[in-house]
């Protein structure tokens, strides 16, 4: 599965990703491969058709949750968005994180990822990947979920405020063509329906980067602080506060800095 990065030209991506797409009943296409785009998420939103997969060789203006910018990684990163029929977003968020972990670890044996709820994948304590889920109404009037995935693959270093917060597969000794990461992600996300509640709870517990720690969280009602108890797949993050246990839903909660 591994190969020197950049060995497969983007012109060949459609043919090479075809088998992964064909193996999925949930992601039936169309497959849109772009040499460059501002945001795969925006392209996928414009389609809004379940089964759509959008990948780009370069994404110049990607975004994360609550409008945060995802740095332009040139040709060193993976940018992918898919459209699926809407499911319960509280369950979908951890299922996507777990599916992404499994895909990356399949291509890069020995990599052990942790999940910083709700949408960051960590490697060695630093951010390797991020997931964005947006719920919109499709052209047929039914609600769909647009799932964006960004993975740092071939960066040798980061600058500015990312220097101490981000990492890449290459920086951990894994030289891999982005195409193989994309194929594994398509295969893994094509099986999202297999992530039932019990499996999500068990899988997340093994990868939870926040459990047991004290944290601060932003919610529509204001800041909440407490000790993280774990994840409830149906209700969100379980937090022990001074006034009792509360649940924080992924869709409206952000993790705040603790320093």
Q: In sequence order, what DSSP letters do the residues of the chain get, joined into one string?
A: ----TT-S-GGGHHHHHHHHHHT-SS----EEEES-BS-HHHHHHHH--TT-EEEES-BSSEE-GGG-EE---TTSEEEEEEEEE---HHHHHHHHHHHHHHHHHHHSTT---EEETTTEEEETTEEEEEEEEEEEE-TTS-EEEEEEEEEE-S-S---GGGTTTB--SGGGT----HHHHHHHHHHHHTTGGG--HHHHHHHHHHHBSSTTSEEEEEETTEEEEEEEEEEETTTEEEEEETTEEEEE-GGG-EEEP--
**158 and 240: one domain?**
no
pLDDT of residue 68: 61
**186 and 246: one domain?**
no
pLDDT of residue 101: 97
pLDDT of residue 73: 75
| Structural domain boundaries enclosing 15 | 10-206
Query: Is position 2 within any domain?
Result: no
Query: Is position 4 within any domain?
Result: no
pLDDT of residue 232: 94
**54 and 143: one domain?**
yes
**95 and 187: one domain?**
yes
**Across the 259 residues of the chain, what is the mean pLDDT of every consecutive 10-residue run?**
59 92 83 95 92 94 65 85 86 95 96 94 96 86 91 91 91 94 95 93 96 95 96 94 94 84
**104 and 144: one domain?**
yes
**127 and 241: one domain?**
no
pLDDT of residue 17: 94
Task: Note the pLDDT tens digit of each residue in 125-161.
Answer: 999 999 999 998 877 778 899 999 999 999 999 988 8
**164 and 219: one domain?**
no
pLDDT of residue 69: 61
Task: Note the pLDDT tens digit of each residue in 66-84.
Answer: 556 666 777 899 999 999 9
**235 and 163: one domain?**
no
pLDDT of residue 2: 40
**79 and 104: one domain?**
yes
pLDDT of residue 5: 46
Query: Is position 199 within any domain?
Result: yes
pLDDT of residue 6: 52
pLDDT of residue 8: 81
Report phi then psi at 128, rounded to 5: -100, -35
| Domain count of the fold of the chain | 2
**140 and 185: one domain?**
yes
**CATH number, domain with residue 221:** 2.30.30.100
């Amino acid at each position: 599965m591994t190969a020197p990065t950049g060995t497969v030209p983007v012109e060949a991506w459609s043919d090479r990703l075809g088998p992964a797409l064909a193996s999925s009943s949930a992601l039936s296409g169309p497959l849109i491969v772009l040499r460059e785009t501002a945001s795969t998420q925006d392209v996928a939103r414009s389609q809004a058709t379940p089964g759509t997969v959008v990948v780009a060789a370069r994404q110049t203006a990607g975004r994360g949750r609550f409008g945060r910018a995802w740095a332009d990684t040139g040709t060193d990163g993976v940018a992918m968005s898919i459209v699926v029929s809407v499911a319960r977003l509280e369950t979908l968020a951890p299922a996507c994180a777990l599916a992404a972990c499994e895909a990356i670890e399949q291509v890069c044996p020995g990599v052990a990822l942790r999940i910083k709820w709700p949408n960051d994948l960590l490697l060695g304590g630093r951010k390797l990947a991020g997931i964005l889920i947006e719920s919109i109404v499709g052209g047929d009037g039914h609600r769909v979920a647009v799932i964006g995935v960004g993975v740092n693959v071939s960066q040798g270093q980061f600058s500015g405020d990312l220097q101490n917060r981000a990492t890449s597969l290459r920086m951990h000794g894994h030289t891999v063509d982005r195409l193989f990461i994309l194929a594994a992600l398509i295969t893994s996300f094509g099986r999202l329906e297999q992530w039932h509640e019990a499996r999500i709870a068990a899988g997340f517990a093994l990868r939870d980067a926040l459990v047991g720690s004290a944290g601060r969280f932003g919610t529509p009602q204001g800041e909440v602080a407490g000790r993280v108890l774990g994840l409830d797949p149906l209700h969100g993050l379980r937090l022990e506060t001074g006034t009792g246990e509360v649940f924080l839903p992924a869709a409206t909660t952000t993790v705040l800095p603790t320093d």
